[in-house]
Amino acid sequence: MGGYNYRGNDILGLANPIDYEPPLDGMPYTTLNYANGPGVNFTSGKRPNLTNVDTTSFDYIPQAAVPVEYETHGGEDVPIYSKGPMSHLLNGVKEQHYVAHVMQYAACVGDFKDDSHCKYTEPKPTCSGCCVTWDRVILFISLIGIYLQQIYFV
């Protein structure tokens, strides 16, 4: 990210830095910056003016400094939040290739589609439903009655 932008500044929009120091060429720049990618423009030796450009458009190609066909991943960390089945596999710091394998494993696709944890099994009743019998219900109500009687009639 370029500059020290205000919290809530559009990540795809133009930079709106807190301590604004204008670029030496006087041109605006986007909040999100790329060091390399297809957005290099060496034709005039100057950066294009983004004042009237919709940088949030799906078709917008961000400016870059080093010409390559595709932007490569930077060195920053990327957080991963997981919840649900197999989420215990995503704790702590993980390499990027590991994350792809965990997602396949948890979703039962790719190399893991036939693993044993992916087989369908009939749901089994839980103890919360199978263990409640009428005699236990009557016992529970009786105990509550005795407890309330001791509280209010002593």
Binding residues for Zn(2+): 73
Q: Which residues are annotated as a binding site?
A: 73
For residue 104, what are the contacts with CB-CB under 8 A and spacing of at least 6? Answer: 110, 111, 112
* Cα distance between residue 30 and residue 10, in whole Å: 9
* Cα distance between residue 6 and residue 52, in whole Å: 21
Q: Are 56 and 87 in contact, with CB atoms under 8 Å apart?
A: no
